[in-house]
Structures are given as C-alpha cells and as structure tokens.
Chains A and B, each alone.
Chain A
Amino acid sequence: MTDATAPLELKEQPGGRVRFYGIWLIAAVALIVLPLVFSSGGSLTSFSLIGIAIIFALSYNILLGQTGLLSFGHAVHYGLGGFLAVHVMNAVANYNWPLPLPFIPLFGGIGGLAFAIVFGWVMTKRAGTVFAMITLGIGELVASSSLILRSVFGGESGITTDRTALPHMFGWSFGPQRQVYYLIAFWVMVSAIAMYALTRTPLGRLCNAVRDNPERVEFIGYDPHVVRYFAYGFAGFFAGVAGGLTAINFEIANSAYLGATQSGFVLFAAFIGGTAYFFGPILGAILVTYLQLGLTDLTTVWQLYFGIIFIGIVMFAPGGIAGLLMMHRPLVRAGSLATVIPSYLVAALPTLAFALGVILSIETVAHYTDSEGEGSVVHLVGIPFDAVKPTTWLAAAVLVVVGFVIARLTWRRVTEAWDRAATIARDRGYLA
C-alpha cells in the first residue's frame, strides 16, 4: 500500500515491488490471525465493525481524497446498500433461491451504485462547495423520505432479517460472530484491493487530475463531469458493500444508516486518517471506530472529543495521521530524524498537560451541569476531582493556560528543529 497521490519519489528504493506485495500479504495474514489471537466475543464484534468502517472510509476517499469531492451525504449509499441487502436476504430465504450469504454484499453494492447512477448525473454537475451542499440536501431528502416510505424502509424500527436462513456455504451457517468476521475480512480484502487498483487505472489518474485542475482536463479532451460521475458511482458501490455487510452483521437495516450522523462518521474517519494517501482512511477507520467503542464507556460527552480531535486535525495537520507519518519518511531515509526527536520529547510534556487541562475542563463542566445524573466526581488518570469544588476549576484553568503558553514555546522549537532536519534531507536528495 504505497501512496496513491503523492508526487513521484526522488530516489527509488530497491526491492519496491517485493515490499509492495509484502504489505498486502501481511495485511491478509493479519486479518486471518487476528481473531485467533483476540478471540473474545467483544473483540470479534469490534474487528467486524472496524472492517466495515475501513471499506466505508476507503469508498469515501474515492470522492474526497482522489477526486476532491467533499460529500456530506455518503451514508445514503451505505444505507440503501444495507436496505437492498436485507430485502435480498429476506427474498432468498422466502423463495429458497440458491444464493449463499457471502454474495449478499454485492447486492448492497448494487443498491449504492443504483442510487449513484440515477441521481449522480445531476449531483456531479458541479464540484466544490455546491457539490457539498447538494450531497447534504440529497442526504436529508433520502433520510426523511425513508421515514415516509414505510413499506420499503420499515419506518422507525427498520427491517430485520435472519442471516442463517440463507443457503450455507462450505458448511458455514454464518451464525457465530467468528464466521461473520471472516466474511467481512474477505470483503475488506477484496474491496481494498479493488479500490487500490482503481487508483492505478487511467480513470483513477483522471480523477486526481480533475481534483487538481479540472480546466486542464477539459483541454486534453475529457469531461470532468463524466469523470466525477464515474468516481461517484464507484464510491457509491463500495459504500453499498459496506452497508450490506453492516446489514449482515446486525441482521437489521434502519433509517439511521442513511442519516447525517453516519455521513459525519465516515467524513471524520477519512479525514482524521488522512485523505492524501490510500492507507490514510484505513488508519482513520480503525482509530475512529476504536475511539467510538472505547470512549462511550469512559465519558458521556465522547462526541465532543471527536469534534475537538477533528478540529485539531483540520487546523494543525490537514494531511491527517497518514500525512503526519509520511512527512517523516524523507527524514528517516536521509537519517536526519534524530535532529527532531529531542524537540518532540520536550514539546510532549506541556502539550500533554494542556490536553489534560482541556479534558479536565470538559469533564468538570459535564459533571457540574450533571445532565446525565452521574454525580459530581471526575476521575482523571486515577485522581478523583470534585466538579463542585473551586480547586478543581482552578486546576483545570492552570493546566490549560500554563500548558498552552509553554507548549507554544516548545512547538516553536520543534519547527526550528524540523527546518534543520529538512535542510539535511534536501541536501541529500530525499526531499524536493
């Protein structure tokens, strides 16, 4: 999984091809081995959710990262895929069609694709901000319509299904979560390979060109509108696959799958992970799903932390986590990374203090207003703080203010160290 969109490397590494296939092979082995290492029911459920999120986030990145289309309504494809999958599953069970469960996500994909084919032509007429607004409006339209068309979408309660009622395959009933996990893992691998291959086709390259300079694309004889339409269709298809897998995983499809929350989730996942690299959304999907599952137990205001992390990434690291990691690659190759490390370590302490201060402030306010009825004591890194005591407020304020002031000074030094390291890398020909 090398970068799909970064500029060409200045110096080619030897054995690049071996490394390239090696990474995919390692990913496949990891997917197979994971449930053997962590075999508890909870971790199997988490892995299944993460796998679905990976497909969903990668499909979103076909739009945002590769074609430069910001969509606020990507969950429409995901949800419609889920609904079509559920209806097909019920039909298979009712009419005894010889269609085993592993093929169902394909129908999910068709559901997502069908919507993209019908509405995509009008929607992709324009790019940029207008496209973003249109996807938002269409998203709301579909989400509200799903509540009106009760016979198809099942109203508030949704439509349920039974995945074990379908014909078995290799003697698997797909009742146990482990078998569902392997089904999801298979589709994660297939979809990831397909989407990566897509970035390497002429169409994938044209998508990048449309993102960077649509006018020049027109001059060489392509219609950016058509390219955007194709990208939208592929993104819709894979989002539908993810939706179909969700329907299999939960054995239900409801109107929440289509809604703005789901669209926001995939945007967060893709952007936090980093949209400029193919593997960015994978990192983002893993992190965001993991946070979502982990934070809900710890705090009532976990969504606020999501928002803050997202704002932080947008403001200070628009390349996302993948962008931050790949920034260091030329330094590692040039061997100048050691110049930066000490300044990172110095900056880490006040930054951590600032972060703790922010967390303490948020938790203090949350427990002070006590909208969830959890009492006024905040537990942070093992220390109990009482939200109604002024000392807690003072501690939070001191951490935030002092942490911020010192962190700013140390980050200035990080910038200086970074410039020195980058100069070395440039001199040695590893950085443009």
Chain B
Amino acid sequence: MSELIVISTLNGVLFGMLLFLLSSGLTVIFSMMGVLNFAHASFYMLGAFFGYQLTRWIGFWPALVLAPLLVGVVGMAVERYGLRNTHRHGHVAELLLTFGLAFAIEEIVSMIWGKSPVDYRVPTALDFPAFTVFSTNYPAYKIFMLAVSVSIFVALLIVLKRTRVGLIVQAALTYPTMVGHLGHNVGRVFMVVFGVGSALAGLAGVIAGPSLVTQSDMASLLGPILFVVIVFGGLGSLPGAFIASLLIGLIQTFAVALNGSLASAFGPLDPGLGPSVLTDIWNVTIAQIAPILPYVLLVLILIVRPMGLLGTRET
C-alpha cells in the first residue's frame, strides 16, 4: 500500500506539473486576450511530433530546444495572422477560430504521421532506473520530466514576479486596457505571450511524448481535461491553475492505480437481479471511472463555487 502511495504521488505530481505547463500558458493567454485557446492542446501535440521528428534527424537534446521554439513560432503566426484579424468579430469568433485550428491541426498531423502511435523513444542517456522504491524501478526519464517542469515553473515565477515584463503581464491580467493606455504595445505583448504560451505547451509535448503515447488523438484526449483545470482553478488565476493542475493530476493517477469497486467493498450483488444500471455502477472499478473524474469535479465546483477555486472574475 505504501509503495502504491509513493509511486502514485510521484506520478501524480509529475502529471500535475505537465498539466500546469499547459494550463499556465492557457490561463495567461485567456486573462490577457479574453481568448480561450482551444488549440492549446494541439500545440502540445505539435510539440510531441516535432520533438519526435527532430529527434530522428538531429537527436533528442537539440530537439528539446528547437521543437518548442518552432511551436512558439507557429503560435505567434496564429496570433498575428489569425486571432488579430478575427478580434473585431468578438470572442466567440476567436474561440471558434481556435476550435477550427485544433480540428485542422489534428487532421494535418494524422495526414503526415498517420493515425497510429509513432515510435518516440526515451533518449538512451536517460533510459535507466533512477532509484528503486520498494520493488518498483522508477525511470530516470520521469525524474528528468519532473525536473524540467519544476524548473520551468520556477523560471515562470521569477519572470512574472521579479521582472518588468512580468509586471506588464500581471498588470494586463487585471487591467488589460489600462496597460494599453500606459503606452505598451499591447499587440506585440499579446503576440509574444501567445508565442511563449504555445512554446511551453510544445515543451510539455516534447518531454511527455516519449513517456506517454505520441499519437494524433493526444490533443483531443488532453484538451477537455485542460479546460476543466482552468475552469476549476478559476479562469484567469495562475495560482488556481497550479492547485487545480496538481489536484487533478493526483486524483487521476490515484484513481487509475486503485482497483476497488462497490462490489469488492460490499460483496457482489444478488446475481438474480440481472443487468441494470445498479449492477453497472456496483461493478465499475475506480480505475474505470478515472477518465470521468475531472468532469465530475467540474460539475461539483460549478454547483458549489461557479467562479472556480481562486477565480475572481465573473466573465
């Protein structure tokens, strides 16, 4: 049991930090521009596939730097030539544009790399067990993933709290128009923030690709969870996104590891009852309901606190 707790906590924190790499960019972009970027998970997928392709051409370490940069450039282009032109039609049009983009990116990726998973492997330099907990070998690559996401988190914190750029971004979170009045080139700030957000998503993709499955449906699988994270944490709140990321990461990882069901806790139902909704619910394991847990959380928070955990804005 304690082995399960240690391993699941490690994996859960890791998944949570990955989620935060994505949700932080999404939240900052949403707060500044009012655009909920539907294609954010697609940038994560692009990162994974660029990482895979570049790893094959020039090796993992250059790919680790180049792939996120490429994704960042794609993101900036989307902002400059797509969103900026759509802005005058309102937020719904912008949301729909990113929705169409997410759709198109998935199709392009499956057109180029196919619909089946690609062979994106852990680099040999990191392909060894880091340490052994009880009887389980914990892979070094996961520790590397954790280290990368934690250092990005710290870097983000320093940039946001200690630099002038961070000050502008923070100000724009709460008073976007005032920042414009103070003479900052809001258009360029938006483009750079969008680019950095996409690049972070791309980085998450590059490092998550070898560990999870790199496949053309990875964006549509992760995307909805990402939205749950930022709605749950409170739209526009970075600390909220952080807490929600960790919470959902941990909940999902623990749920997958647990095999219990009502039947195993209270004994099987009378077989004479026949199949019904009750037997379905009685026999379903916690691992099986893991995929729907985030959405249950979403419904709960909407009933209890509609603005999200740490959200303040009503929009």
Residues of A within 8 A of B (CB): 68, 70, 72, 122-123, 125-126, 128-130, 132-134, 136-138, 140-141, 144-145, 148-152, 260, 264, 267, 271, 301, 303-304, 306-308, 310-311, 314-315, 318, 362, 365-366, 369, 371
B299 touches A122 (CB 8 A): yes
A306–B306 Cα distance when bound, in Å, is 35
Which of the 9-residue segments B63-71, B129-137, B238-246, B288-296 touches chain A? B288-296
A310–B100 Cα distance when bound, in Å, is 6
Contacts of A148 in B (CB 8 A): 280-281, 284, 288-289, 292
Interface centre among B289, B292, B296 (most CB of A within 10 A): B292
Known: A128-B315, A151-B275, A314-B86. A136 touches B224 (CB 8 A): yes
Residue B120 at the chain A interface, CB threshold 8 Å: no
Residue B279 at the chain A interface, CB threshold 8 Å: yes
Contacts of B86 in A (CB 8 A): 314-315, 318
B112 touches A369 (CB 8 A): yes
A129 touches B291 (CB 8 A): no
B224 touches A137 (CB 8 A): yes
Contacts of B299 in A (CB 8 A): 122, 137-138, 141
| B293 → chain A closest CB, angstroms | 10
The 8 closest A-B pairs by CB, nearest first: A307-B104, A141-B295, A304-B107, A311-B100, A371-B114, A307-B103, A310-B100, A137-B298
Residue B82 at the chain A interface, CB threshold 8 Å: yes
B103 touches A264 (CB 8 A): yes
| A57 → chain B closest CB, angstroms | 15
B82 touches A315 (CB 8 A): yes
Residue B111 at the chain A interface, CB threshold 8 Å: yes
Q: In the complex, which range does the number of interface residues on chain B fall in? A: 35 or more
A137–B299 Cα distance when bound, in Å, is 8
B231 touches A133 (CB 8 A): yes
| B253 → chain A closest CB, angstroms | 17
B292 touches A145 (CB 8 A): yes
A301–B114 Cα distance when bound, in Å, is 11
| B28 → chain A closest CB, angstroms | 15
Residue B91 at the chain A interface, CB threshold 8 Å: yes
B104 touches A129 (CB 8 A): no
A151 touches B276 (CB 8 A): yes
Contacts of A366 in B (CB 8 A): 111
Q: Quick one: CB contact mask for B292-309 with A, threshold 8 Å, 1 for yes? A: 101110110011001000
Known: A125-B306, A145-B292. A314 touches B97 (CB 8 A): yes
Residues 105-151 of B contacting A (Cβ, < 8 Å): 107-108, 110-115
A4–B193 Cα distance when bound, in Å, is 40
A315 touches B108 (CB 8 A): no
Provide the main secondary structure of the chain A interface: helix
Contacts of A301 in B (CB 8 A): 107, 111
A137 touches B227 (CB 8 A): yes
| B233 → chain A closest CB, angstroms | 12
A125 touches B302 (CB 8 A): yes
B235 touches A130 (CB 8 A): yes
Known: A133-B231, A271-B96, A365-B112. A150 touches B104 (CB 8 A): no
A371 touches B111 (CB 8 A): yes
Residue B95 at the chain A interface, CB threshold 8 Å: yes
Contacts of B265 in A (CB 8 A): none
A371 touches B110 (CB 8 A): yes
Known: A129-B91, A314-B93, A315-B97. A122 touches B112 (CB 8 A): no
Please name the residue on chain A nearest to B221 by beta carbon.
A140
Residues 270-284 of B contacting A (Cβ, < 8 Å): 275-277, 279-281, 284
B291 touches A151 (CB 8 A): no
A132 touches B95 (CB 8 A): yes
Contacts of A128 in B (CB 8 A): 91, 315
Please name the residue on chain A nearest to B105 by beta carbon.
A307
A265–B47 Cα distance when bound, in Å, is 27
A116–B230 Cα distance when bound, in Å, is 24
Contacts of A150 in B (CB 8 A): 275, 280
Cβ contacts A to B, 17 pairs, < 8 Å:
A129-B30, A129-B91, A137-B228, A137-B299, A148-B292, A149-B281, A151-B280, A152-B277, A260-B220, A303-B103, A307-B101, A310-B96, A311-B97, A311-B100, A311-B104, A318-B86, A371-B111
Residue B172 at the chain A interface, CB threshold 8 Å: no
Residue B89 at the chain A interface, CB threshold 8 Å: yes
A287–B228 Cα distance when bound, in Å, is 33
Contacts of B85 in A (CB 8 A): 315
Contacts of A136 in B (CB 8 A): 224, 227
A369–B82 Cα distance when bound, in Å, is 28
A304–B228 Cα distance when bound, in Å, is 27
Q: Quick one: CB contact mask for B163-176 with A, threshold 8 Å, 1 for yes? A: 00000000000000
